[in-house]
Amino acid sequence: MSTPFAEILSIGLLVLVLVCAVVRPWGRSEAVVAVPAAGLVIATGAISLDHARAEAERLGPVIGFLAAVLVLAKLCDDEGLFRACGAWMARSAAGRPRRLLAQVFVVASVITAVLSLDATVVLLTPVVFATAARLGARPKPHVYACTHLSNTASLLLPVSNLTNLLAFAASGLSFTRFAALMALPWLASIGVEYLVFRRFFAADLNAGAQAPPGTEAPEVPLFTLVVVACTLAGFVLTSGAGVNPAWAALAGAVVLAARALAQRRTTPVAVLRSAGVPFLCFVLSLAIVVRAVVDNGLAHGLDQLVPDGTSLPELLALTALAALLANVINNLPAVLVLLPLAVPAGPGAVLAVLLGVNIGPNLTYAGSLATLLWRRILHDHDTDANLGEFTRLGLLTVPAALGVSVVALWAGLNLIGT
């Protein structure tokens, strides 16, 4: 196959895969289009079989890690962890929407960091809807916070986001060093989001609410909390010992699954379904299609734009490029394209890419898969996000959050080192 035709084919298939991921025709999984697209780029020679195999081997541990974390998050939900969070927010907010917004920020940030952004979007958003309804508060500020924090608050740990897992594998950093370098950008960007939300949604937050009825609080699932804490400790220990942290995630998921199966509160089929196998196939297939685009010219074009250092201006430029690319082709393809180009400049450049692809998607609906999934949940609750309002909020939060997070990363690199 000629290079121009291979380039056109691979770009066309990438666009098709991303469009179908957005609209999900016939209500089918994203994998329905992505898997045949990956097969087509291999069959036509747009990507060599060796490169496709190398991409699968590179992503194998990452996909296994993602599957274990998805199972862990779903089992936590089954144990009532998210319902307990909602009840706590309703009681302690005591009819004050501004306090509820602060609580949503805290809960969503922690859940995103520890159990991944999917847990915040899929499991916490419905709880926030129910909590706002229970208080008679306007849900918009609190529900919008879920989608923004599923992206922004996913900076902290390697397990918080699929993009983090990819960057973690490419950076060569330990689990603890990764978290240490990202802690300040994480706090800074969340702080910016909170300040903007307070001003942007002032009318909704001033509308008032009511104290919840005095119902009995659900029991806090202590066993689940202990397992999650042990799993986090396992991430640190395995990383320090040079062992893939996916084994710690798998251990936590196995413990909760074994307990739930023994108590007959779930089934093996339900556990397997919670791993999101079609989504995992989509991720792998998308990576192969993106690799085909990269192999056929995109890498050369972007290489001219990627800075080769980690000074503050270079980190700002790299982060801006990553954010722009995330909003054009979605953040997952963007990180797959940019990471190989950023690696030669060192871990600082890799983390700068991560800032762009995690915070940047709050600007547009199509910036991340999490935002697309969030919109479907809104539809399920007979609500929709106004495009103009979503974009205005993004214009107020994204540039400011990117700026402070890059400065925080640059400071951390100079103070802590890599």
125 by DSSP, 3-state: which? helix
To which H or E segment does residue 314 belong?
A: helix 312-329
CA dihedral 140, 99, 186, 332 (to 10 degrees): -20
Q: Is the pTM of this model over 0.75?
A: yes
- Cβ neighbors of 27 (< 8 A, separation 6 or more) are none
CA distances in angstroms from 318 to 165, 200, 293, 378, listed in the order given: 19, 28, 20, 33
Distance CA 82, CA 103 (A): 13
DSSP letter, residue 307:
-
- Winning range, highest mean pLDDT, from 78-82, 93-97, 297-301: 78-82
pLDDT tens readout for residues 208-250: 666 666 555 667 788 998 998 898 888 878 877 777 778 888 8
CB 52 within 8 A of CB 42: yes
- Cβ neighbors of 110 (< 8 A, separation 6 or more) are none
pLDDT at 56 over 70: yes
pLDDT tens readout for residues 312-327: 999 999 999 999 999 9
CA dihedral 266, 269, 274, 276 (to 10 degrees): 180
For the residues 277-303, what does the mean pLDDT come to?
Answer: 83
Domain ranges of the chain: 1-46+281-291
pLDDT tens readout for residues 17-50: 888 876 777 767 778 899 999 999 999 989 999 9
